[in-house]
Amino acid sequence: MQFFNFFLKSHFLLLFFIHPFSSIADDNYEIYQINKDRLYYNLIIIDNIYVSSNEGLFTISPDFKTLSLFDNSLLSSVNSDFSLKKSSKISFILSPIELPFGYDKTVTDFAYFGNFLCIISKGDLLIFKKNLYEFVPFGSVRSLSKNSIGSYGRVLINGKELEKINYTDGQIKEFDSITFICYNGLLSVKNRKESILYDNNNSKNANAVYGDIIDIFSLTKTEFIVISNKGIYKYDLSLNEFNLIYSNKSEIIPIRNKIESRIKFSNEFHFIDEKQYMVLDTNSLLVSNYLDFSMDIIAILEDSNDGSFFYALDDKSNLFTFSATINGLQIQNTKNLDIQFHTISDYGDFLFLTGNSGLGIFNKSIKKFYKNVIIDEFNKNAVFKSKDEIKFGSVHGFYKFYDVNKFIKSSLLIDYKVDTKSNISIYFFVGLLIFATALILVYGYNKKPKNLSNEERIIELKMYILKNLNNVTLKTLSDNFDMDYHALNNLQKEFIPAQFIKRLRQKKAKELFLKNKSFVEISKITGYSVTYLKKYKYKFLKL
C-alpha cells in the first residue's frame, strides 16, 4: 500500500509538470495525501470537515495529515445533521481539477477547506493543497514583463510568439503601447507590428556597433536610456538614433527600485560601474562619481518602502545593508549567506535572492535569512514585479508569487531552524530571560480587565465570520479570539456563533443560487460540499 501511494503521488506530480496549462496548474493545487485504506462516501463541513466511510465517520485534522474516528456507528453516507442518508445511490459529478488515472470520471464529492481541497473518487479520499506560488514550465526563461516572456528558444507577447526573433538574452520592457525586447539587438512591438531597430544576432558577422543591448529605460515617449556592454546610450525612437553618453569600465549595474521615480522627479539615473556609484544627469547627460565601494557589488537595490536603505550582493556571498546618510552610504550590516546569488529584488518587507542554486528570502524587519526556499537554477535579472505579484525566471520555467506575506507565514516560519552554532550558551540564557519576561508580561496582561465590551466582541466575531465564511468553525473562532467554547456561546443570549454561521451560509447560498452561480462557485464561497448543495438547492431557495 505504501509503495502504491508513493507511485500514485509521483504520477500526480508528473502530470503537474507535463501539463502546465491543465486545470491542476491553473488552480495551483498539488497532491498532498492519498487515502485508500477504506471506502469513502461523502464530505461534510460544519464546525470541522468530516468524511463518511464504511468504517465510520471521521474528522480530518487541521493539518490534513490524519483522520480520527468520530462515530463508528455511521457506516454509510451521512447528512449534515449526522443522520444516515436514506439513499446510497452513487452519482458522479464533474471534478473541480483535472485528475489522472480515470479519477476524473468517478468523482462523487469534493469540498474546499482553507488551502485544502478534498476529493472523493473511486472511493478514495484525495487531499490537495493549494500552493502559495505558481510554477509554469517554460524553457530557460531569460526575461519577464507583465504580458511577455522571453527565453533562448522563443519570445511571447500576450501569448503570441514573435516572428522576427526567437530568443532574448536581455530584458523585455513595456512602456504604454510599445514593448522593447533587448535580445543583444533591439526590437520593438507596437500594435502587433515587429520592428528591428538595431540588428545584432550575436554572430561573428554581426555589425554590433552599439554592442550587446541588455536593458532600456524610458525618459520620454520617444527618448530612452539604453544599456549595452559598451556603455550607456541615449536612444531617440523617432530618429532611430543611438548616441553614446558613457563608456563603461565593467558591467553596468542599475540601482533598482527607484529608477523610474528618479528619472521622472530628479532627472537622474543611478548605476554602478566597477566599484563606483555613478549618477547620470538625464538633462545634461553628464555623469558624476557619487562614491566608491570597497567591495565588488554584483547586484543592488534601494529599499522599496522608503529608500533610506540599500541592499547589495557582492561576489563573496555577502549581503550588505547600507543606510543613506549625508556622508553617503554607510554599512549597517553584513551577512554571509553561504550561497552565491546573482540577483536581488524586494517585495514589501522581504528580499528575494536568486542564483544558480536556488531562491532565498531575507526578512528585512527581523534580519533573518531563509535559504533553499525553492531549489532551481535561476537566470540573472529574470525578475518582474508589480503591485500584485513578483515573478522569477529559471531554466525550467517561472515562479509567480501572489501573496508574499501569506507565503512566508505559511511556508517558512513554521519549524524553521536557524543555521547558527556559535554562542549557543549566550543565546540560550538570553532566550530564557526573554521568555521569562514575556511570561510575566502575558500574565500581567491577562490579569487586566478586558477593554472590549461583549457587543464589540460580537461585531469583531461577525466581521471575521463574514470574511472567512467558507472555512470558519468554532475552533477557528476560539483560536483567533482566544476564547473557549463556553465564552463564545455566552457573549449574548441572542448570539450563538454556530447558528449565526449556519444562517449566514444558507443566506449566501440562496443569494448565489438566485444569481445562477455554479455549484462549484457556491461551494468555494460557502464551504458547503457540491453534493450537499445539489441535494438541498430548492430547500435553500425556499428560505
pLDDT digits (tens, 9 = 90+) for 252-277: 999 998 888 889 888 999 999 999 99
Cα–Cα distance for residue pair 461/483, rounded to 1 Å: 11
Predicted confidence at residue 542, as pLDDT, reads 80
Cα–Cα distance for residue pair 388/402, rounded to 1 Å: 6
Cα–Cα distance for residue pair 118/448, rounded to 1 Å: 43
Residue 276 cell numbers, joined:
563606483
Residue 177 near residue 170 (C-beta atoms within 8 A): no
Candidate from 147-151, 223-227, 536-540 with smallest mean pLDDT: 536-540
Going through 375-516 in order, the beta strands assigned E by DSSP cover 378-385, 390-394, 397-401
Predicted confidence at residue 409, as pLDDT, reads 54
461: left (phi over 0), alpha (psi -120 to 50) or beta: alpha
Cα–Cα distance for residue pair 434/437, rounded to 1 Å: 5
Parallel/antiparallel/unpaired status of strands 193-198 and 186-190: antiparallel
Cα–Cα distance for residue pair 246/244, rounded to 1 Å: 6
Q: Which residue has the higher pLDDT, 421 or 479?
A: 479
In this prediction, residues 420-448 reach a mean pLDDT of 43
Residue 119 cell numbers, joined:
476529493
Half-sphere exposure of 18 (CA within 13 A, CB side): 8
In this prediction, residues 124-132 reach a mean pLDDT of 86
The 3-state secondary structure of 331-386, one letter per residue: EEEEEECCCCCCEEEEECCEEEEEECCEEEEEECCCCEEEEEEECCCEEEEEEEEC
Q: Which domains does the chain have, with CATH numbers?
A: 2-132 (no CATH), 454-541 (1.10.10)
Q: Provide the residue type at 268 as one letter.
A: E
Predicted confidence at residue 476, as pLDDT, reads 79
What percent of the chain has pLDDT above 70?
Answer: 84
* pLDDT tens-digit readout, 219-231: 999 999 999 999 9
* pLDDT tens-digit readout, 287-345: 999 999 999 999 999 986 666 789 999 999 999 999 888 778 899 999 999 999 999 99
First to last CA, the chain: 47
**What is the layout of strands, in order, in the sheet containing 213-218?**
213-218, 223-228, 231-236, 241-247
Q: Provide the residue type at 508 as one letter.
A: K
The conformation of residue 103, written as its DSSP 8-state character, comes to: G
Which candidate, 292, 282, 237, places its Cα nearest to that of 261? Answer: 282
Mean pLDDT of the chain: 82
Q: What are phi and psi of 42, to 5 degrees?
A: -150, 170
Confidence of residue 16 (pLDDT cuts 50, 70, 90): very low
**What is the layout of strands, in order, in the sheet containing 29-35?**
29-35, 124-130, 116-121, 107-113
Torsion of CA 511, 512, 513, 515, to 10 degrees: 90
- Give the H or E element holding residue 8: helix 2-18
* pLDDT tens-digit readout, 18-56: 333 233 334 577 788 899 999 999 999 887 899 999 999
Q: Which residue has the higher pLDDT, 14 or 205?
A: 205
Which candidate, 126, 109, 125, places its Cα nearest to that of 534? Answer: 109
Which candidate, 62, 43, 42, places its Cα nearest to that of 114? Answer: 62
Candidate from 185-189, 203-207, 306-310, 421-425 with smallest mean pLDDT: 421-425
Cα–Cα distance for residue pair 253/394, rounded to 1 Å: 20
- Give the H or E element holding residue 485: helix 485-488
